[in-house]
Amino acid sequence: MTRGTVSVMEGSMAVAKAVKACRPAVISAYPITPQTHIIEMLAQMVAQGELEAEYVRADSEFSAASVVAGASATGVRTYTASASQGLLLMTEVLYYLAGARLPVVLTGTNRQVSVPLGLQPDHRDTMSFRDSGVIQLYVENVQEAYDTHLQAFKIAEDHGVLLPTMVCMDGFVLTHVVEPVRILDQVDVDGYLPPYEPVHYLTPERPSVFGSYTDDANTLEFYYLLQQAVLGAKAKVELAARDFRAAFGRSHGGLIDSYGAEDAEVVVIAMGSTVGTLREAVDVLRREGAKVGLIKVRCFRPFPAEEVRQAASGADAVAVVDRAMSFGFQGVLATDVKAALYDAPAANRPVVMGTMAGFGGREVTIDTVREIVKVARQALDGHLPAPDDSNFIGLKPELLPVAGPG
Amino acid sequence: MDKPAVDPYQKMMFAPGHRACPGCGASIAVRLVLEATGPDVIVVSPTGCLETFTSPYPYTPWGVPWLHVLFENAAAVASGVEAALRSRGSSDRVRVIVIGGDGGTYDIGLGALSGMFERGHDVLYVCYNNEAYMNTGVQRSSATPLGTATMTSPATGQAWGEDRPQKDLPAIAMAHQIPYVATASVAFPADLRRKVKQAMAIRGPKYVEVHSPCPIGWGYDAAETVELARLAVNTGLVPLYEAAAGQQLRVRKIQQRLPVTEYLRRQRRFHHLFADANGAHLVSIQSVADGNVNRWALEG
Amino acid sequence: MIEIRIHGRGGQGAVLAAELLVHAAFAEGKFGQAFPAFGGERRGAPVQAFVRLDKSPVRVRYRVYRPDYVVILDRTLPDMIDVLDGLRPDGVVLIDSARPPATLSWSADAPVYAIPATAIAMEVFGQPLVNPAMLGALAAITSEISLLSIQDAFQRRFPGSLGEKNGLAAQMGYDHVLKPDVLPVRVTRSPHVRGVGQASAPDAGLGAPGHPLHFGLVVAPRTSLAYPTGGWRYARPAVDADICNGCGLCVAFCPDSSLTIVEKQAIVDYMYCKGCGICSKVCSRGAIAMMSEEG
């Protein structure tokens, strides 16, 4: 039996309620669409006395991240949220938070990055933090968004982890959707998430110094420790999900989740809100006779290479649905999936096909998935039109200039 | 003479062994500021000389808790520290100060500083002003005075060094109507300590700027740091004053005003001004000092 | 290929010396590279510069760990750092010192030339610009580079009379080495390399010196007490006990927190004092005099 009281609410409200239940001491944010509803609701909760927290209305996303950096170094639980350009503006601070091992939790409400300026969800913004040391969890629906925020604090603040943790949820599709969600009682949340106990923090009683510089004598060792910490977080992501299921009776997966992947010929790998559509597509396509399965990468960093390898290596073909690309190369997730599968025995190493689907906010429907699976089958049969690792699914040729630019 | 038997460093808030250049004005400023605040503070510093010479891992002179995050966000970080102290219920006992250079304050950190002021955080922001980016090798900042030769405002050809007047950051601070703004100098320790104490007695955002000579960047013998700081004040180029809520409170009067050339000729960064036959630029700089004297009524 | 490591102090010209060596070698049709060890160090702090000279282009990109020559621009440096680290068995050391080098602390057995570069510089420039005499001496010791090339390199960098003075100082350093009674002194390894003093023990833990790296780079307070900066000093303040009345003005102005008042007397902690001379200037009674460390 899954716990919590069901009510219908907007995704942003669910996130605000989750954050409130986690009792952050300091919240700081700067408004940007589609993050605004979350921070507005938190501001109201603080103003109405429902949430006892310092709410710092920052002068920029950069300052918002800096405020929570200072607060976290002072030993309290902190929260911020942003999207798109705002996240990019926080970049310098987020790298710092990872290096300084400050367990700030933030929500990345995914939105495309300018130019073109637009509001559509894709993963270019949050995936730009791939190499920062920030833990990233991608959610597929509002319930998972709610539950994962609770888990995020638990993961971030684990004394073996102590890393900033970002919950990534697709803007509008999840932040502005209204749907039923189970909200836990405060006492249940308190039982799951104990108060934050910092290992070191700024206090005159025990003075210490944060933010030193290093040189070639010790920087490599420092990076080694950071890599160990981020890799070590894998077990904690799994543990947080297991504990959550034990306490509340539901799970959205740990590092990954899979659906019909065990006996699938074609496995689709995706992150975020497209995963829900893909679940439906698996059922539809299976009814149509196609042995299709799904792997959800829930934790993008640390990357679950071993888990993906195990879950995908039985398939003949893997199609990766990417909402971010490294221009000049290919989809970001596809690159990682290929790297993970490179270590699989050659005999059960599937063909991997990258697809740019849900990119630029272009929606992924059942038909999109049908097309992806079709292309994957063509790839299997050696009928790929070109060795293209970045199939732009749903591309409108009629919008493209006839000649190239210039 | 040998070291005294009692370890004088046991409780020191700013210990020796840091790596500032000999004669560093900023180091004097930091120690004097901490003497006035006492040990119950958390210090935030932006990137800069102070950060660099006090934090080569694992060596640090700080005897008070100290946090460096980045270059452009010290005021925002301090805002967060202060918010956290409030939430911990220890903001009565523990106070937050920022100590940073002019680059991190006047230029790259100005947005964050303005945010900290207008939100009303209980933070004392101390800017040690050495009038250029010294940590990176002496490039001009918006605090660089008129006529100064730096690596990016060279005096060569027709160029006579920095050709724009200094940004008036204390005035910008005052425009935020914060409860206390003061300018001070490492040449006048008692005055500096008093101003810091005054600031600490007030709740809310405070700004204290400390004029801090830099032997390397300014080009003078390290022994003359204090003398040059004193000359800067006594020529009227660095007015020392206090203000509250946008209104001038009091100024430190100049007993016997000296011509700016007395100050300028002792620094390599101004030598080119004296090679100029008609001395027009020296006249411009003298008029900056005269303007200060008039505006702040520094004489009489 | 020969490899040279130059030890100096910030502001002393080690980097310039390295650069000019490569210019000189290039003028002779050779190849080379010169580069400093980058760090956040400041004026007076120990710095290093590295030089490689070869008949063909130098391709390796790392510091000189096994030098053929070690050039030491300041005779106090062996007390602060291991200047002979990695010196090749047939390596040679040049140090600026008017006195025989045997009294210095060394980490290895090595032939050492003492070059009175400061004395030469004072005679020629009236300032301790030790580079030209040291490089002139190096030209006399190694066949890799000629005196003329070094003099030309100085002349190109400092056209006019300053270049000529540099050329003269280089000649004097060169001539010094060629004097019949000047021979390298074979120094023997000291039992240990001395620090400038026994620094105060810092608080243990939290990434303090000698402890493992802290995962978040958090550091305990006042660990810099284990980093004596007294070796940066060129001149030391000497307090005249009869004149000093312990007013404390010098303490207020000391940038290095190295002055205290004990029983109405200013006490200098030479472990950390960098010798800036501010105390001497601000003392209203003239009780503090600056004495040369060489003296």
Smallest Cβ–Cβ distance between B88 and the set A63, A76, A212 belongs to: A76
Q: What is the pLDDT of residue B1?
A: 43
How does DSSP assign A274-294, residue by residue? HHHHHHHHHHHHHHTT--EEE
The DSSP annotation for C104-161 comes to S--SS-EEEEEE-HHHHHHHHTSS---HHHHHHHHHHH-SSS-HHHHHHHHHHHSTTH
Q: pLDDT band for position A389 (50/70/90)?
A: low
User: How many C-beta neighbours within 10 Å does residue B75 have?
Assistant: 33
B115 to chain A: which residues are within 8 Å by CB?
Answer: 58-60, 63
- Reported confidence tier of residue C20, pLDDT bands at 50, 70, 90: very high
Look-up of token digits 């980058």: C38
Q: Domains in chain C, ordered, with CATH?
A: 2-187 (3.40.920.10), 226-292 (3.30.70.20)
What's the CA angle centered on C84, arms C81 and C88, to 5 degrees?
Answer: 155
CB contact under 8 A, B80 and A56: yes
**What per-residue confidence (pLDDT) applies to C106?**
77
pLDDT of B230 reads: 98
User: Can you give the pLDDT at residue C190?
Assistant: 67
Architecture in CATH of A5-248? 3-Layer(aba) Sandwich (3.40)
C221 neighbourhood in chain A, CB within 8 Å:
207-209
Residues 6+ apart with CB under 8 A from C28: C145, C146, C149
**For residue C185, what are the β-bridge partners?**
C112
Q: Which residue has the tokens 């918006």?
A: B142
Give phi and psi for A266, each to the nearest 5. Answer: -115, 125
A101, A163 in Cβ contact below 8 A? yes
Taking only the tens place, the pLDDT of each residue in A69-78 is: 999 999 999 9
Q: Is the pLDDT of residue A384 over 80?
A: no
Average pLDDT over residues A343-362: 89
Q: Which residues of B touch A75 (CB under 8 A)?
A: 84, 88
Its sign, for the CA torsion B276, B280, B283, B287, is: negative
- List the domain boundaries for chain B: 25-296
The encoded tokens of residue B191 equal 């005055």
CATH class of B25-296: alpha beta
Average model confidence (pLDDT) across chain A: 95
Contact B41, B94 (CB under 8 A): yes
What pLDDT score does A266 carry?
Answer: 96
Number of residues written out for chain C: 295
Question: Facing residues of B56 across strands?
Answer: A213
Residues 128-187 of B with CB under 8 A from C: 186
User: Quick one: fold of A256-396?
Assistant: Rossmann fold (3.40.50)
Type of residue at C144 = E
**Distance to chain A for B106, nearest Cα, Å:** 16
Neighbours of C264 (CB within 10 A): 11
Encoded amino acid at A54, one letter: E
Looking from the CA of A194 toward its CB, the CA atoms found within 13 Å total: 6
pLDDT at C143: 85
pLDDT bin (cut points 50, 70, 90) of residue A405 is low
Query: Which chains would you list as touching C if contact means 3+ CB atom pairs under 8 Å?
Result: A, B
| B50/chain C closest Cα distance in angstroms | 11
Give whole-number Cα distances, C79 to C65, C195, C291, in Å.
19, 6, 19
3-state SS of C183-231 is CCEEECCCCCCCCCCCCCCCCCCCCCCCCCCCCCCCECCCHHHHCCCHH
Provide mean pLDDT across the span C5-34.
94
A chain contacts of residue C220, beta-carbon cutoff 8 Å = 208-209
Q: Is a pLDDT exceeding 50 seen at residue A90?
A: yes
Q: Given this model, what pLDDT does residue B25 score?
A: 98
Q: How far is CA B235 from CA B216, B217, B288, C73, in A?
A: 22, 20, 10, 40
**For A109-126, how does the pLDDT look when each residue is reduced to its tens digit (9 = 90+)?**
999 999 999 999 999 999
All residues of chain B having their beta carbon less than 8 Å from the beta carbon of residue C288 are: none
Angle at B153 between CA B152 and CA B154, to 5 degrees: 95
How far is B28 from A286, CA to CA, in rounded Å? 76
pLDDT digits (tens, 9 = 90+) for C158-209: 999 999 999 999 999 999 999 988 888 888 776 554 444 556 656 667 888 8
**C102: closest CA among C132, C78, C138?**
C78
Instruction: Report the alpha-carbon distance of residue A260 to residue A283 in Å, rounded.
Output: 9
CB pairs under 8 A between A and B: 160
pLDDT digits (tens, 9 = 90+) for A263-305: 999 999 999 999 999 999 999 999 999 999 999 999 999 999 9
- Count helices and strands in chain C by DSSP H and E runs: 8, 11
Q: Indicate the length of chain A as a whole number.
A: 406
CB pair distance less than 8 Å for B80 and A78: yes
Q: For residue C232, what is the DSSP state?
A: G
Rounded CA separation B14/B128 (Å): 15
Give the pairing of strands B66-68 and B41-45.
Answer: parallel
CB neighbour list of residue A382: distance below 8 Å, 6 or more residues apart: none
| Among the partner residues B40, B57, B87, nearest to A212 by beta-carbon distance | B57
Interface size A-C, in CB pairs within 8 Å, comes to 38
Structure tokens at B182: 């003061």
**What tokens does C165 get?**
């003075």
Measured between alpha carbons, how far is C200 from C214 in angstroms, rounded to an integer? 21
Every domain of chain A with CATH number 3.40.50.920 lies at: 256-396
Exposed/middle/buried for residue C61 (C-beta within 10 Å: 0-12, 13-18, 19+): exposed
Distance, CA of A279 to CA of C19 (rounded, Å):
66
Element containing residue A224 per DSSP (H, E): helix A219-248
pLDDT surpassing 50 at residue A16: yes
Query: Within a 10 A sphere around the Cβ of C255, how many other Cβ atoms?
Result: 30
Q: Do B9 and C209 touch (CB under 8 A)?
A: no
Q: Is the dihedral of CA B69, B72, B73, B78 positive or negative?
A: positive
pLDDT tens for A153-190 read 999 999 999 999 999 999 999 999 999 999 999 999 99
Ramachandran area for residue A200 (φ above 0: left; ψ -120 to 50: alpha; else beta): beta
CB A365 within 8 A of CB A278: no
> What is the model's pLDDT at position A306?
97
d(CA B250, CA B182): 9
Residue A392 pLDDT > 50: yes
Residue B299 and residue B251: Cα distance in Å, rounded? 10
Give ∠ CA C150-C153-C154 in degrees, rounded to 5: 90
Cβ-defined contact of B87 to A78 (cutoff 8 Å): no
Residues of C in contact with B60 (CB under 8 A): 219, 221-224
Q: Which one has a higher pLDDT value, B19 or C77? A: B19
Residues contacting B247, CB < 8 A, separation 6+? none
Digit-coded pLDDT (tens) for C246-280: 999 999 999 999 999 999 999 999 999 999 999 99
**3-state per-residue secondary structure call for A27-84:** EEECCCCCCHHHHHHHHHHHHCCCCCCEEEECCCHHHHHHHHHHHHHCCCCEEEEECH
Token pair for B161: 């060094």
> According to the 3-state scheme, what is the secondary structure of chain B?
CCCCCCCCCCCCCECCCCCCCCCCHHHHHHHHHHHHHCCCEEEEECCCHHHHHHCECCCCCECCCEEECCCCCHHHHHHHHHHHHHHHCCCCCCEEEEEEEHHHHHHCCHHHHHHHHHHCCCEEEEEEECCCECCCCCECCCCCCCCCCCCCCCCCCCCCCCCCCCCCHHHHHHHCCCCEEEEEECCCHHHHHHHHHHHHCCCCCEEEEEECCCHHHHCCCHHHHHHHHHHHHHCCCCCCEEEECCEEEEECCCCCCCCHHHHHCCCHHHHHHHHCCCCHHHHHHHHHHHHHHHHHCCCC
Averaged pLDDT of chain C: 90
Residue type, A106: L
Please answer whether residues C251 and C266 qualify as being in contact, where contact means their C-beta atoms are separated by less than 8 angstroms: yes
Q: With residue C265 as reference, give the H or E element that holds it.
A: strand C265-268
C4 membership: H or E segment, kind and range: strand C2-9
Separation CA C157–CA C163 (nearest Å): 7
A5 CB within 8 Å of a chain C CB: no
Query: Which of C205, C156, C147 minimizes the C-alpha distance to C178?
Result: C147
Task: Inspect the interface and report whether the beta carbons of C219 and B60 lie closer than 8 Å.
Answer: yes
**Taking a contact as any Cβ pair under 8 Å apart, which residues of chain B between 65 and 124 contact chain A?**
65-70, 72-73, 76-88, 90, 94, 111-112, 114-115, 118-119
**pLDDT score recorded for residue C196:** 45
Looking at residue A173, its pLDDT comes to 96
For residues B293 and B257, give the distance between their C-alpha atoms in angstroms, rounded to a whole number: 9
At B142, give phi and psi (nearest 5°).
-75, 0
The whole-number pLDDT of residue A406 equals 54
Count other Cβ atoms within 10 Å, centred on residue C35: 18
**Tens place of pLDDT per residue across chain B (300 aa):** 444 455 778 889 999 999 999 999 999 999 999 999 999 999 999 999 999 999 999 999 999 999 999 999 999 999 999 999 999 999 999 999 999 999 999 999 999 999 999 999 999 999 999 999 999 999 999 999 999 999 999 999 889 999 999 999 999 999 999 999 999 999 999 999 999 999 999 999 999 999 999 999 999 999 999 999 999 999 999 999 999 988 888 999 999 999 999 999 999 999 999 997 778 999 999 999 999 999 999 997
